[in-house]
A and B are shown apart, each in its own frame.
Chain A
Amino acid sequence: MSLQTKTIQRYRQLFPKDTLREVSARTGIQITRVFRLFNGKNMKVGELEAFETVIEKKIAENPSFSRFSTAMQSASSLLTNDEIARLAEYVERKIAVKHFSRGYVSLGQADAIIA
């Protein structure tokens, strides 16, 4: 998967309901250009940076992410190799379940989308 596709996917995960107009407003990229980028047109470096900046800002709003990053940094220097391997396995398993459940909308989420 290309960096551009990953970035757009990540953006969509964080802003699943954004319209083209809203994406344009957040990133400062023209709406017609956003449409083209979402349809596979190659991004310029500046456009990629604009998306990355929005993603980073959104992530920074989540205190758990910052905690997680700090914990991982501490873990890498303090824990034994076996313990790190177990943590990695644990996180990878959580991610795998998320991958399997892509496209799955639970009843609660469906209500939220309809509302």
Chain B
Amino acid sequence: MKSLSSLERIVLECIGKEKLNYSKVLENSGLHENVCFNILQALIIRGLLKTDGSQYWMNTQISPLMEEEINSLSSRQAESLEFIEAVIEKQSDRVFKFQKIALDDRDEKIFKAMLTNLETFLVDCHKKSQAVTPVKSRKVVFWGMGEVNALMNQMITGVDA
């Protein structure tokens, strides 16, 4: 696997543009110490992180090919799937709703407008609190919609027609 796993990206997001020591990465990510250490080592081996032995920082000189690989649409989709799967499998403290809804054209427009409002609200929330909220305490939020017929055809053919 050449793309990033969700865990690797979380560690990269924790470090961001800063230079952090191990305990700070551990605190920001909320990962178990062994897991955090293994991920840091993997990221160093892949050349995405640099370290002087006590601090870790992002390698800003990664090749465009590698950048394309880790930020490609397919790898981002696979990462999203990992999180969505984790939310679905969560046993407690879970917010997840999945329904097939009959929406007429007017209601669909209203619903999409509501989603736009929701997105604006979430973007504002993030801007307001991102500096004081460590990555481990952030929430994963997702939504989506598709027509049953189109989705079924996609499942059958394996491609979005």
Contacts and interface: CB of A to CB of B under 8 A. Distances in A.
Interface of A: 79-80, 82-83, 86, 89-90, 92-93, 95-97, 99-104
B78 interface: yes
Where chain A touches its partner, the secondary structure class is helix
Nearest to B32: A104
A93 B38 contact: no
Given A82-B159, A103-B34, A93 B42 contact: no
Contacts of B3: 89
Given A89-B1, A90-B78, A100 B159 contact: no
Given A89-B78, A101-B34, A104-B35, A96 B5 contact: yes
Given A80-B158, A89-B3, A96-B5, A102 B34 contact: yes
Where chain B touches its partner, the secondary structure class is helix
Interface of B: 1, 3, 5, 7, 32, 34-35, 38-39, 42, 74, 78, 81-82, 158-159
Given A89-B74, A90-B78, A100 B1 contact: no
A58 B92 CA distance: 34
Given A86-B78, A89-B78, A95-B1, 16 more contacts: A79-B158, A80-B158, A80-B159, A82-B158, A83-B158, A89-B1, A96-B5, A97-B7, A100-B5, A100-B7, A100-B35, A100-B39, A101-B38, A102-B38, A103-B38, A104-B34
Most B Cβ at <10 Å: residue of A83, A86, A96, A102? A96
A83 B157 CA distance: 10
B158 A92 contact: no
A103 B78 CA distance: 25
Contacts of A83: 158
